[in-house]
Amino acid sequence: MLEVKELKKTFGTLTAVDNVSFTIPDGQILGMIGQNGAGKTTTFRLILNFLTADSGEVLWNGKPLKKTDYDIIGYLPEERGLYPKVSIEDQIIYFAQLRGKSKKEIKPQIDKWMEKFQVKGKKTDKIKSLSKGNQQKVQLIATLIHQPKLVILDEPFSGLDPVNAGLLEIGIKELKKQGASVIFSSHNMNNVEDICDKLIMLRNGQMVLDGTVREIREQFGRKKLFLETPISIEELKLMHGVVKAVETNDGVKVLDLEQPEDGRAIFEKVTQGGYITTFSQQPPTIEEIFKMKAGEFHE
């Protein structure tokens, strides 16, 4: 279990991380979101001791991380770092040896991992011959092949097409099943909603959201209404409590409400003619909440 307690880091007059605290139990995934410069990468570097915190502490299973503990960590940095003239096989073995594994242990596993992440190429191919997406998958294999107990992934979905992003998502969920503590950052809110057990958002170095995806969404109230009805958008806009009304290309009307309670009266009006195929009142998505919280900073 990873515990981060009141972590703070300043650079001159800039406070990059401001009293950030969270816990990741074994077998759980924490998603970290925030705009560029919010403090996500700095937090990761503090956990890994690449940077020294001004205050606070990082604990692994209740104790400060020791040098030997870093062998059970898998870290995928935002800035990828592979040696272009080295073969896939030698690259993976090299990174595994840095984590205390032997060539004899790792070499037999490489074919399986390349197949798992559908790396196009032979293990004897040099890194520079691979596409950007396949290079990223090789670095991901190098991050995971030593079976880490703590996995830190900084923007792992960046640059991946939907198919490869799906493979990565499966890989992250497998880590959870194996009991690893996983933390990842992403600008893709769909990935965050689909994968993480818990979510935090940083803004200007401070935590502004903390909880499960469901808990965070429900905090903002069920003010989004989806319905299919013959009633026109113009009529819907005039109903009490409707702030905004639009119609999607597939004919679904989407209403923004002043208060969740306004949905009941709207339901009674739109169903007076009988059955309608869609009436769903939902809280905002994580992406919508992200934009709201980011917007507060710019107001």
Contact 5, 64 (CB under 8 A): no
Q: What is the pLDDT of residues 32-63, one digit of tens each?
A: 999 988 999 999 999 999 999 999 999 999 99
Identify the CA nearest to 34 among candidates 200, 154, 202, 152.
202
DSSP state of 284: P
User: What confidence score (pLDDT) does residue 133 get?
Assistant: 85
Question: Which residue's entry shows tokens 């062998």?
Answer: 71
For residues 97 and 138, the answer to whether their CB atoms sit within 8 Å is no
CATH 3.30.70 intervals, the chain: 221-282
Task: Name the strand (E) or helix (H) holding 150.
Answer: strand 150-154
For residue 237, the surrounding DSSP H or E stretch is: helix 233-237
Q: In sequence order, what DSSP letters do the residues of 71-137 get, joined into one string? A: GGEEEE-SS----TTSBHHHHHHHHHHHTT--HHHHGGGHHHHHHHTT--S-TTSBGGGS-HHHHHH
The pLDDT tens digits of the residues spanning 58-109 come to 999 999 988 888 889 999 988 877 888 999 999 999 999 988 899 999 999 9
DSSP 70: G
% pLDDT > 90, the chain: 67
Are residues 91 and 143 in contact, defined by beta-carbon separation less than 8 angstroms?
no
Pairing of strands 224-228, 253-257: antiparallel
Check pLDDT > 60 for residue 213.
yes
Q: Which of 156-165, 167-176, 220-229, 272-281 has the lowest mean pLDDT?
A: 156-165
CATH of 2-217, picked from 3.40.50.11900, 3.40.190.10, 3.30.200.20, 3.40.50.300, is 3.40.50.300
Q: Select 221-282's CATH number: 3.40.50, 3.30.70, 1.10.101, 1.20.1070.
A: 3.30.70
Reported pTM:
0.85
Strands 198-203 and 29-33: parallel
SS3 of 6, please?
Answer: strand
Q: Predicted confidence band at 299 (pLDDT cuts at 50, 70, 90)?
A: very low
More confident residue, 212 or 161: 212
> Which residues sit opposite 244 in a β-bridge?
256
Q: What distance in Å separates the CA atoms of residue 79 and residue 70, rounded to the nearest whole number? A: 20
Which residues on adjacent β-strands are paired with residue 5?
57
Domain with CATH 3.40.50.300 in the chain: 2-217
Q: In the sheet where 63-64 sits, what is the strand order?
A: 14-24, 2-11, 55-60, 63-64
Token readout for 296 is: 């507060």
